[in-house]
Chain A
Amino acid sequence: MIEKAILKINPNAEFTINANDIDQITWLNGTTPIPKADIESKMAELPTAEEEAAQRENEKASGKQKLKDLGLTDAEIKALTGA
């Protein structure tokens, strides 16, 4: 989550994070450090892991239904998508 927030703010940021701890970030190769408050603010905007997983399941179901609506059988869909 911390790294996602940082990369949302600066997609080219080079850094390491130890122990998933916002206080253990090392900025690399001249990357301008991002204030802790900015990272925390961006983290609050990001979806949680559970929300992302639910979104993936919804997209999978929606895509499968669209293929069915096109006339593909379940076997054909499974052959194409593996699910």
Chain B
Amino acid sequence: MAITRLGGANAITGTIPQGNIANASLGAVTALPAAITTGDVLQVVSANKTNSFTTTSTSFSDVTGLSVSITPSSSSNKILILVTLYMSAEASPLQAKLFRGESTELQFVQDYAVAANDYATGSSVNMSILDTPSTTSATTYKVQIASSNNGNNAKVNGRWDSGSADIGDSTITVMEIAG
């Protein structure tokens, strides 16, 4: 016998299978219920580097210890990346890049604040960007640096002519933001 009338507001209960929900019908939704918020910080992952890293190459190299992996809980969520890099260099400018994975360059910074051949000078290089990786797979963010001239030192956390990490501790922090 065909159903001709549903009785009461709670006559149908349960879970609608995911396959029965069409994207086309969801596309017509123009606003989320007030209970669903956006902008919340859902998780935070951070790495702190306390020792030095030196390069003498103009080719960009991964800074050991300055990478993090985060797994977004939804592909619509965003990732806010904050990097504070303490650097010095034998030749100006300081150069740093921020990558998602191995090949997606998100940011490139050149800091001309450090005078060439000033052994005592260091500087903080800051990078921040709101990324949309559009995935729920583990995603890695990493920092690379390079020297401005081959054979000249560029160093993280220390003065370029010093073996020690005497400028500061560099950090990379990523936050998943509800989309």
Question: B-contacting residues of A (Cβ < 8 Å)?
Answer: 1-4, 6-7, 11-20, 24, 26, 28-29, 49, 52
Contact = CB atoms under 8 A, between A and B. Distances in A.
B51 A14 contact: no
Interface stretch (B5-13, B17-25, B52-60, B131-139): B52-60
B153 interface: yes
B161 A14 contact: no
Contact of A29 (B52, B53, B59): B59
B110 interface: no
Interface string B141-157: 00000000011010000
25 contacts: A2-B163, A6-B56, A7-B56, A7-B151, A11-B151, A14-B59, A14-B150, A15-B55, A15-B56, A15-B57, A16-B54, A16-B55, A16-B64, A17-B54, A18-B51, A18-B53, A19-B52, A19-B64, A20-B51, A20-B163, A24-B64, A26-B61, A28-B59, A29-B59, A49-B162
A11 B57 CA distance: 11
Given A19-B64, A20-B163, A12 B150 contact: yes
Given A14-B150, A18-B51, 17 more contacts: A3-B54, A4-B161, A12-B151, A14-B56, A14-B57, A14-B58, A17-B52, A17-B54, A18-B53, A19-B51, A20-B52, A20-B54, A20-B163, A26-B61, A28-B57, A29-B57, A29-B59
B151 A13 contact: yes
Contact of A20 (B57, B59, B161, B164): B164
A2 to B, nearest CB: 7
Nearest to A10: B151
A65 to B, nearest CB: 23
Give the residue among A6, A11, A16, A52 with the most B Cβ atoms within 10 A: A16
A16 B150 CA distance: 12
Contacts of B161: 4, 49, 52
Contacts of A6: 56
B140 to A, nearest CB: 18
A3 B56 contact: yes
Contacts of B54: 3, 16-17, 20
